[in-house]
Structure formats: structure tokens, C-alpha cells
Structure 1
Amino acid sequence: MVGLSAGEKHFICGGIAQDLRADGRQRLDFRPVSVETGVIPQANGSARVRLGATDVIASVKAELGKPNPLQPGKGKVAIFIDCSPTAAPNFEGRGGEELSIELSSALQKCLLGAKSGAGAGIDVSSLVILEGKVCWDLYIDGLVVSSDGNLLDALGAAIKAALSNTGIPKVNVAAGTTPDEQPEVNISDEEFLQFDTSAIPAIITLTKVGKEYIVDATAEEESQMSSAVSVSVNRHGMICGLIKRGGAGLDPSVILDMISVAKHVSQKLLSQLDSEIDAAEAAYAGNLPADDT
């Protein structure tokens, strides 16, 4: 927990009430965002996102697998988050483990939708190679390097950037196998398919402090929150997931207003992320070794 004096708490809450936060932002302003892609060469895709002093890394590893018999037309995606003990004092020991589990679960809900797949931001049907037989399993790992609030939104942005950087090898399935046989597959070393990230949402967390709510809360601001609502919104303004945190209850009308604000704010963040990702990908491509063929 962030240790604050009574005066500091009053300063933070008073500033938010007057729409002038401690760092000079208004209630619905984000901190500067920076994106770097291709930071882990061994992964199929990776990215590092800095949101103010919050610093996170996401990587994607693709492996061949077999679809779930109950969902033969879908591939599989698993998200695991690790909070480095050096990222914040309260991450040491059980604190970091519990937060890692909480963030992993929240990202699954925000990006993969309900158990039925409704509202999924990641299209798992695109990961199927041969229905019921072969699919891609995506393992998404996130690491919190430095924490200064708003981890869920930062990790969501890092995963979106990492998937934009992901190349999935082209797979050829050998013909002539019987329905009962597991087919032979050939994985290309030269041809890669770009992962489609157009439907992946941005996660917007609205943190309620006093009677107002803010976006992109710092750790100090989060220490004064009564509750928070995280909404994942795609570029079409569709809601892909919603999570509430904190003990204080919220009136339904307040939640509806928070969703409306999140939908509005998300489009600005998505445009900013797209611009940062495009610039990062251009820089990454420029640093790749030249093809000798």
C-alpha cells in the first residue's frame, strides 16, 4: 500500500474533485504512452509498454495443439501474468502472487469474453488449422517491471502490441489422412501470417475517488479509491468485457455512465495505441537483419 499523510490524501482527493490531478492531468487524461515491439527475440511476438512510470512487457508464444473436443472450431489462448517483486514493495511474497492471479483472470475476461466466447476480442477461430484436429495454442505471458498504477490497462495495451508483432508460421497439412488419424503437418520456416489485431479492445479502468472517477490512476490515486470498473472496448465501440473491483457498491446508473465514458475515452486511446504500435513496428522492421537471399 502507498503510505500517504492526511494532507497528501486531501490534496489528491481535492484535486480530483476540481478536475486537476496532482500531476497536472484532468480526470479523463492518460499519462504519456510509449510502445516498443520485438523486445524478446525468442517469442513469436513481444512488446513493452510504458504508461507513465508503469512499465510492462508482454510476449506471445505459438505452439501446435489439438482443439478442445467441445470447441473443435477454435484454437486456445492462455494468459499468465507475473509481477516482479522489484516492481513494488507490496509485490514481495504472497502479494505479488495474488495480484498475478487477479490480473491474469481479469485479462482473460476482458480479451477472451465469456466462456461461450461471446464478446471475445481475440478471434480464437482464426487459430484453427484443421477443425477438431490441429490448432495453434497461444501462450501470452506478461511481466510487470515497474508499477505506478493502472496495471490492467497497461498490460492490455502490451498484449495488443505484442499480438501486432506476432508472426504465426504457415502450416501445410498432409493430404490423405483418414478421419481417425492425426494428420501430419509441415511448419514453414519462411512464411508467416500476421495476427489480426483489429478487433482487440483497449481496456479502460475508471477509478472512483470521492464522487468522481478518473482514468489511468497512479498508485497514489488508487490508494484513495472506493471502487473501480474496467471496461474493454473495441474500435467499433462494442463492449468486450467488464470487471468491477473494490468493496464499495455502485448504483447501476453510475455504472452505465462509466461505461459511456469508457466507450468515449477508448477511441482516443485506441488511435494513440495504433499510432505508437505502427511506429514501433516500423522501427522494429528497420532493425531486422537484411535478407541475404
Structure 2
Amino acid sequence: MVGLSLGEKNFIQGGIAQDLRSDGRKRLTYRPVSVETGVIPQANGSARVRMGATDVISSVKAELGKPSSLQPDKGKVSIYVDCSPTAAPMFEGRGGDELSTDLSVALQCCLLGGKSGAGAGIDLSSLIVVEGKMCWGLYIDCLVVSSDGNLLDALGAAIKAALSNTGIPRVLVAAGASGDEQPEVDISDEEFLQFDTSDVPVIVTLTKVGRHYIVDATSEEESQMSSAVSISVNRKGHICGLTKRGGAGLDPSIVLDMISVAKHVSEQLMNKLDSEIAAAEAVEDDS
């Protein structure tokens, strides 16, 4: 990140205070969002999302495995993020590794809820093939191609688009497996079940700059933040997860106000994302 002069910092902060950001947006307006699906043919589902100059790719690979003994009625989802060293100067060396880990943990929190599964935006029980014996495991890999702020929201949108593009092969289970035996299965090469993404939330990050907070902050705006709260909200308006970064503390009343704003903003983002995903899949079907 190139260091900003005092004049540039004042310009960014002053604009946000007057609800007119340096790129002409209001405080609660997103940059243009575009979606491509099916960008990685060998994956079960994939998508590329651009929010302004932030560019991320997500792919989903489905593999059969055994459910955890602690949660025999649930499948597994793992999320990994890789920050390309060319995406931003700060990603070179150890910086990219640390950010990759932070983003992976934040996405797990926002999309998969707590360890108990409470608040999960992805229904893990839908991934079970035979309870206690066989389930689908979804491996979600994300790549940050270019970074200009608001990575978490973009990655969350890319995961939602990739999951909507995911086809899981239909599995027929042979009768007769008893005890601890793994059941015999026939995996279809032709029939696929579309992954249900109706409850997968979007992530809205509210970045506090001065006395105000903004959505979809650019890298320059993020350099001026005191703190940021990322809230994942599903279509029903339920909060699925919440994570905070930045050193400054926040009064609980401000957090409650942020949640209220995130619910409102999430509807616009969800509708925009749904129409972009539908358009991208129509283009993919035609090609």
C-alpha cells in the first residue's frame, strides 16, 4: 500500500464525513459487482467475482468421506484462501500467508457458524449420504487475484456463486452393509444434484472511518479505519456470523446499529448477486 499524504488522508476522511467518497459513492453503496461461473472446468463448481478492482476466484471440490464421530449426521466443509503475491505488495513474503489464514478463519466463522454448527449458513446435514458412515466433504478453495479492499465480502460472494454452480453427483447406496462396514455406492456420472444456496448468507463488512462507517471499503479507505465488523446475513435476515478486526473497541450500541444497517444493505447485495449469478449461468449454458 502506497503511503498516503496528510492531504489525501483528510480528503478521504472528509468525504466520508460528508457522505461523498473519493470515487463518488455514498457511504452505504457498493462498487459494481460482476460474476462469472464455471471458470474452473475440473471443479464441481466455481465462480469469479469482481467488486471494483478486487478480483477473487472460488472453486468447490466434492469428495466422499466419513463423517466425524462427534457429528455423525453432518457432512464437512473446509475453506482455504490463497493470496496471490501479485495481488498486492503486502502479500509478498509472510504477509500473504498471515492474511490467508485470517480470511479462512473469518469465512469459516461467517459461513459455518460456531463449532456446534449453530448459525451455520451452509446446511451440513444435506451432505450426508449414510448417517455415521458416509458423507460428502466440500473443499472450497479461494484465490485472491487482485486486491483493492473489502476482500471478505468479495470472497463470501464468490463462495455463494461457486456453491450455486456446484453439482454433486447422485449417489445410490447398495443395501446390506452392516456394522462398521462402509456401504457400497454407485456414483452417477450423469445425474447431479444442484447445491441449495438459498440459506447461504452474504457478508457485509462495515468499516469505521472517523465517526462514520462505510461498506465495500477500498484499500485506501481501509488504511484510515479504526475498526471493521463483518456480519453475515442470510435471505431471512438472520445473522449467521460476526467477526471484528482493528484495534479500536466498539460500544455495544454501535455494534447493534451496525447489525441493523448490515441487514438492510445485505438485501441489496443479495438481490444484485442473485441476478448476476443467474445471468452468468445463462451465459455458461449458452456456451
Q: For the superposition of Structure 1 and Structure 2, which TM-score range results when normalised by the shorter chain?
A: over 0.9
User: Is 1:181 the equivalent of 2:162?
Assistant: no
How far apart in 2 are the matches of 1:108 and 1:176?
A: 37
- Asked if the contact 1:2/1:223 (under 8 Å) is kept, the reply is no
**1:213 match:** 213
How far apart in 2 are the matches of 1:238 and 1:251?
A: 22
**After the TM superposition, which residues 98-247 of structure 1 pair with which residues of structure 2 at under 5 Å, given as runs?**
98-247=98-247
User: Counterpart of 1:234 in structure 2: which amino acid?
Assistant: N
How big is the shift at 1:2? 3.8
How far apart in 2 are the matches of 1:180 and 1:86?
A: 48
User: Counterpart of 1:53 in structure 2: which amino acid?
Assistant: A
**1:19 match:** 19
User: Counterpart of 1:125 in structure 2: which amino acid?
Assistant: S
Which runs of no fewer than 5 residues in structure 2 stay unpaired?
none
How far apart in 1 are the matches of 2:169 and 2:230?
A: 34
Provide the TM-score with structure 1 as the length reference: 0.97
SS state of the match for residue 120, structure 1? coil
User: Counterpart of 1:45 in structure 2: which amino acid?
Assistant: G
User: Counterpart of 1:81 in structure 2: which amino acid?
Assistant: V
User: Counterpart of 1:95 in structure 2: which amino acid?
Assistant: G
User: Counterpart of 2:68 in structure 1: which amino acid?
Assistant: N
Which sits farther off after the overlay, 1-10 or 148-157?
A: 1-10
How far apart in 2 are the matches of 1:98 and 1:20?
A: 33
Deviations 1:247-282 (A, max 9, x none): 000011111000100000000100000000000111
Deviations 1:69-125 (A, max 9, x none): 110000000000000000000100000000000000000000000111011000000
SS state of the match for residue 122, structure 2? coil
Runs of 4+ in 1 over 2 A off after TM superposition: none
Percent identity between matched residues is: 79
How big is the shift at 1:180? 2.4
User: Is 1:284 the equivalent of 2:284?
Assistant: yes
Deviations 1:162-205 (A, max 9, x none): 00000000001111111221111111000000000000001000
How far apart in 1 are the matches of 2:61 and 2:178?
A: 30
User: Counterpart of 2:28 in structure 1: which amino acid?
Assistant: L
How big is the shift at 1:21? 0.1
SS state of the match for residue 217, structure 1? coil
User: Counterpart of 2:81 in structure 1: which amino acid?
Assistant: I
Provide the TM-score with structure 2 as the length reference: 0.99
How far apart in 2 are the matches of 1:171 and 1:250?
A: 49
**1:50 match:** 50
**2:84 match:** 84
How far apart in 1 are the matches of 2:139 and 2:286?
A: 27
How far apart in 2 are the matches of 1:261 and 1:64?
A: 40
**2:37 match:** 37
How far apart in 1 are the matches of 2:178 and 2:240?
A: 39
User: Is 1:275 the equivalent of 2:275?
Assistant: yes
**1:290 match:** none
SS state of the match for residue 73, structure 2? coil
How far apart in 1 are the matches of 2:268 and 2:226?
A: 26
- Asked if the contact 1:43/1:61 (under 8 Å) is kept, the reply is yes
Deviations 1:36-77 (A, max 9, x none): 000000100000000000000000000000000110000000
**1:75 match:** 75
SS state of the match for residue 9, structure 2? helix
Deviations 1:136-172 (A, max 9, x none): 0000000000000000000000000000000000001
- Asked if the contact 1:111/1:232 (under 8 Å) is kept, the reply is yes
- Asked if the contact 1:2/1:219 (under 8 Å) is kept, the reply is no
How far apart in 2 are the matches of 1:70 and 1:210?
A: 45
Q: How many residues get paired? A: 287
How far apart in 2 are the matches of 1:241 and 1:165?
A: 23
What is the root-mean-square deviation of aligned Cα atoms in Å?
A: 0.5
